[in-house]
Structure 1
Amino acid sequence: MTVLREIAAGVHVLRHPVLDVNATLVVGAEAALVADTLSTAAQARDLLAAVRRVTPLPVLVVNTHHHFDHCFGNVVFAADGSPIWSHEEAARLVGPALRDRAVQEHPDLAADLAAVTPTPATRLVRTTADLDLGGRPVLLRHYGRGHSIGDLVALVPDADVVVAGDLVEQSGPPQFDDAFPLEWPDTVAALLTEIGPQTQVVPGHGAVVTHRFVAAQHEQLAALAWLIREGDADGAPPERVAAKSPFPHEITLPAVHRGYLHLNQP
C-alpha cells in the first residue's frame, strides 16, 4: 500500500521506490494540493488512493518541472477533475516527444510509459502564483532556470516547508541532461533566501533536507559553474573540466558540454 508520511501539520510526503522520487500532499481547509504525480498511470492511481485515505477534499496539482517522473501521472489526476499548474515552459514540453524519450531511456518502465497520455498543465505560471487551499497559502515561485527550463518551487509558509523539485537532489547528484549549469547556482541562491534553519525542504528525489544541505549543494553547483567558465576561457576540453568537478565525471560531462554551448551561443 502506498503511504504518505506526515512531515508537518497537513503536509505529507510519498518517497516512491521507483527512481526514489517524491510526491507531496498539502492539505488546507477547503482543498488539497499534490506536488508531482510520479511516472506512470498505475503509480498515480496508487498516489491518488493514498491521498484519498488522508483527505476527501478537491485536489489541485502542481508539477515542479516537466520530466516524466514528476508529471506523467497527470492524466490520472486530470481525469479525477484536478486542475494542473506548472511553469509555462514545462507545460510546453509535456508531449509525445517527451514520452518517446522516456521510453528509450527507461526500458524497465517502457511498457507503462508508452501507455501514458502526456497531459500538460493548463494553469500556467511565469514567475509567481499564490494559491489558497482555504486558510493555507501555497506560493508557487520560478526563481530561474536550473535543473530545467521551467523549475517551479512550492512554498508552504505556515508549515515552514519548501517543495523544491529537482533543483535540490538528495539521493543522488544533480542531473544536467537538459539543465542550465551556469544559471543553476543563482537559482538555488534565490531559493535559499526562502529557507530558514528549521525549514524542511522536499527534494525531487530522496530524503527531506534542511538549509545546510541545500547550501552545501549550492556551493558544489557554483564551483562547477566556475570550472565551466574557466575551462571555456582557457579552451580546455570538456573531459578535463569534468575531471575537476565536485560531481561524478559521467554526471558532469553533459553539464560542461551544455555550459560551453550556452557560453558560445550567438
Structure 2
Amino acid sequence: MAAKPFASSADLAAKEQTLEVLADGVYALTAEGDPNIGAVEGEDFLVCFEALATPVVAARWLEKLREHTDKPIRYLVLSHYHAVRVLGASAFDAEVIVAHENTRALVAERGEQDWASEFARMPRLAEGADTVPGLTWPTATFSDRMSIDLGGDRGDLVLQYCGRGHTEGDIVAWLPRHGILFAGDLVEAEAALYTGDAFHREWASSTLDNVAALGAHTLVGGRGGVSRGPDAVAAAISQTRHFLRVMIEHVGAVQRAGGTLKEAFERTHAALVDDYGRWPIFEHCLPFDVSRLWDELSGVDRPIIWTAERDQEVWAQLQS
C-alpha cells in the first residue's frame, strides 16, 4: 500500500470563504474546514479574533471585513499560539495583541518549532510565508478573565480561560449581550480535532464543562460552520467531547494491554473513522493526536515539542 501524502501537503484546492454577520457588528469568516476568524465592533474600534497564518492571507480577510466597517483595529485576540492562528498578525496593525499568559510562554518555548512544523504540514495555508516578519508576541496577557468595554450600549467582550484543552493557553471570546461565543479550537463543528498539544482528560471534562456553562446561543468554533441555536451549540460541544472520549478509551485500552503506539493508532482510527473520517483534516490530525495522548497517558504532562523532523517520524510510523 502506498504511503499517504504527509499531513495536508496534498490539500491544495482553494476553499470557499463565507463571511457571516452574526449580529450587528459581529462577524465570522468560515472556509470549509480551514481556520475560522472573527471580528467584533466596538463603538469606535474593532476587536479581531485570530490572525491566520500569514499577512497575505490575513489581508484578504481584512478586505472582506472592510466592506462592512472601517473602524481601526484596537485589539487582536489570539485564542492560542499555533502558527496558522497567529503569524498573520502584522497585517492587522493592532494597538494591542491579547492572549493568555500561558500562550506567551509557549511562543517563547516552542514558537519557532511550531512555525516550521505547521507550515510544512499545511503549505496551502502558508501562502506568502516570506511575508511573516517573525514570531507574534502578545503585548497584553491575563490569567483567568479580561473584559473589553465595547462602548456605548454594546456591552463587554469577555475573554475567558476555561482550562487546559487544545493547548494549555486556549481562551474564548464571549459576547453575553448577543449570546455569541468564539471558542477557538476548544470546539470544532463538523471538523476533526487536532490534539497534538492537548490535555485530553481536562479538555473532555472540566474545560468543556466551563465552555458549555457560558450558555452560548451561537458558537464559532476553530473550524467548521457556525453553530446557530442552543441545540447546535450543544451538539458541537458534544461532538468535541465524544471525539476526545473515544480517543481516551481506545488509546488507554491498548496501553493497559501492553500494546504499541501503532496498535493504538489503528484501533482509534477504526473507532472514529465512520463518524469523523469524512471531516476536514481527520487523517492529517489523528497520528499526532494519538501520539500526544499516548504520552499523556504514560505520565508526560506537558506535550513534547513538535518539530518538522518529529512530524515526519510519527507520520511514517503511523500512517505508512
TM-score category, normalised to shorter length: 0.7 to 0.9
Residue type matched to 2:155 in 1? R
User: Aligned in 2, Cα 1:194/1:151: closer, same or farther, shift over 3 Å?
Assistant: same
Q: Secondary structure at the match of 2:200?
A: coil
User: Aligned in 2, Cα 1:238/1:182: closer, same or farther, shift over 3 Å?
Assistant: farther
Alignment length (residue pairs) = 261
Match in the other structure for 1:96: 112
Match in the other structure for 2:240: 217
CA contact under 8 A between 1:181 and 1:258: conserved in structure 2? no
Higher relative contact order (CA 8 A, sep 6+): 2
Residue type matched to 1:219 in 2? H
CA contact under 8 A between 1:37 and 1:74: conserved in structure 2? yes
Residue type matched to 2:272 in 1? F
Q: Secondary structure at the match of 1:158?
A: coil
Match in the other structure for 1:189: 209
User: Aligned in 2, Cα 1:87/1:247: closer, same or farther, shift over 3 Å?
Assistant: farther
Match in the other structure for 2:260: 237
Match in the other structure for 1:72: 87
Q: CA deviation at 1:43?
A: 1.6
Residue type matched to 1:126 in 2? S
Distance in 2 between residues matched to 1:43 and 1:123, nearest whole Å: 24
Would you say 1:145 and 2:164 are equivalent positions?
yes
Q: CA deviation at 1:256?
A: 3.3
CA contact under 8 A between 2:196 and 2:291: conserved in structure 1? no
Match in the other structure for 1:28: 42
TM-score (norm 1): 0.86
Q: CA deviation at 1:180?
A: 2.0
RMSD: 2.6
User: Aligned in 2, Cα 1:114/1:90: closer, same or farther, shift over 3 Å?
Assistant: farther
User: Aligned in 2, Cα 1:234/1:204: closer, same or farther, shift over 3 Å?
Assistant: same
Would you say 1:201 and 2:219 are equivalent positions?
yes
Match in the other structure for 1:105: 121
Q: CA deviation at 1:253?
A: 4.1
Q: CA deviation at 1:244?
A: 4.2
User: Aligned in 2, Cα 1:125/1:226: closer, same or farther, shift over 3 Å?
Assistant: farther
Displacement over 6 Å in runs of 4+: none
Answer with 256-265 or 114-123: which moved more. Answer: 256-265
Residue type matched to 2:288 in 1? P
Q: CA deviation at 1:195?
A: 2.7
Alignment of 1:41-80 (within 5 A): 41-59=55-73, 60-77=75-92, 80=93
Residue type matched to 1:67 in 2? H
Residue type matched to 1:129 in 2? M
Residue type matched to 1:64 in 2? S
Q: CA deviation at 1:132?
A: 1.1
Distance in 1 between residues matched to 2:46 and 2:146, nearest whole Å: 16
* 1:227-265 per-position Cα deviation (integer Å, ceiling 9, x unaligned): 344443333333343444343485444333322322333
Q: Secondary structure at the match of 1:91?
A: helix
* 1:196-228 per-position Cα deviation (integer Å, ceiling 9, x unaligned): 5xx111011110122222123213322322434
Distance in 2 between residues matched to 1:147 and 1:207, nearest whole Å: 19
Residue type matched to 1:52 in 2? R
Match in the other structure for 2:25: 10
Residue type matched to 2:145 in 1? T
Q: Secondary structure at the match of 1:85?
A: strand
5+ residue gaps, structure 1: none
User: Aligned in 2, Cα 1:61/1:104: closer, same or farther, shift over 3 Å?
Assistant: same
Q: Secondary structure at the match of 2:67?
A: helix
Match in the other structure for 2:279: none
Distance in 2 between residues matched to 1:10 and 1:108, nearest whole Å: 30
Q: Secondary structure at the match of 2:169?
A: coil
CA contact under 8 A between 1:102 and 1:113: conserved in structure 2? no
CA contact under 8 A between 1:23 and 1:38: conserved in structure 2? yes
Q: Identity across aligned pairs (percent)?
A: 27
Q: Secondary structure at the match of 1:183?
A: helix
Residue type matched to 1:125 in 2? F
Distance in 1 between residues matched to 2:259 and 2:178, nearest whole Å: 47
Q: CA deviation at 1:184?
A: 1.7
